[in-house]
Amino acid sequence: MSGKIAKEITQTKPFVCHEEEAFLNLSRSYEHVMKGFSELFREFNISTTQYNVLRILRGAGPDGLNCKEAAQRMISHDPDITRLFDRLEVRGLILRSRSTADRRVVRACITEQGLDILTKLDQPVFDLHAQQMQRLDAGELEELTRLLELLRP
């Protein structure tokens, strides 16, 4: 048995393999950092997924995106992006409209109210990233990013 994760989860037997220990460390770390964001976003009555969509739509500019385009850019996959858009539209954070060129295409754009929430969150999100990653220097952050990218196809 090695490492901090074994103590945190009171693992009494050795891990089956290094991959298991790495997976559990990754899962535990993800939960730790996401807890901070969930608490931050709760103040604005939005979820981490809703924040992600608003951030994506802000980046898309005034033309917005359709559901499929937004779903492709999501950090965490959401199987029901249409319902997610519905909730954001009801709250006035996004606006959907049909394309005049092709009536089958519905595009979503972020509203001023949605932009206002993101503007208020920009600095706190930056600060939370800095606080959560403060134990790592620039080289370690680059290495962490490199290793995490190796996990994905």
Closest CA to 4 of 131, 126, 125, 135: 135
Q: What is the pLDDT of residue 8?
A: 83
| Pairing label, strands 106-110, 65-66 | antiparallel
Structural domain count of the chain = 2
**58/7 same-domain check:** no
**79/120 same-domain check:** yes
pLDDT at 10 over 70: yes
Which whole number is the average pLDDT over 23-31?
Answer: 92
> Would 8 be classed as within a structural domain?
yes
104-124 pLDDT per residue, tens: 778 899 999 999 999 999 999
What letter does residue 104 receive in the DSSP assignment?
T
**51/114 same-domain check:** yes
- Report helix, strand and coil shares of the chain as percent, to nearest 5: 65, 10, 30
**78/91 same-domain check:** yes
69-98 pLDDT per residue, tens: 898 898 887 778 889 999 999 999 999 988
Q: What is the pLDDT of residue 11?
A: 83
30-56 pLDDT per residue, tens: 999 999 999 999 999 999 999 999 999
pLDDT at 2 over 70: no
Query: In which domain, by residue range, is 88 found?
Result: 47-128
**30/100 same-domain check:** no
pTM: 0.85
Which whole number is the average pLDDT over 15-36?
Answer: 91
Mean pLDDT for all residues in the chain? 90
**11/51 same-domain check:** no
> Would 114 be classed as within a structural domain?
yes
CA dihedral 15, 17, 23, 28 (to 10 degrees): 20
Q: What is the pLDDT of residue 27?
A: 92
CATH code of the domain covering residue 62:
1.10.10.10
Q: What is the pLDDT of residue 1?
A: 43
Per DSSP, the three-state class of 91 is coil
**15/73 same-domain check:** no
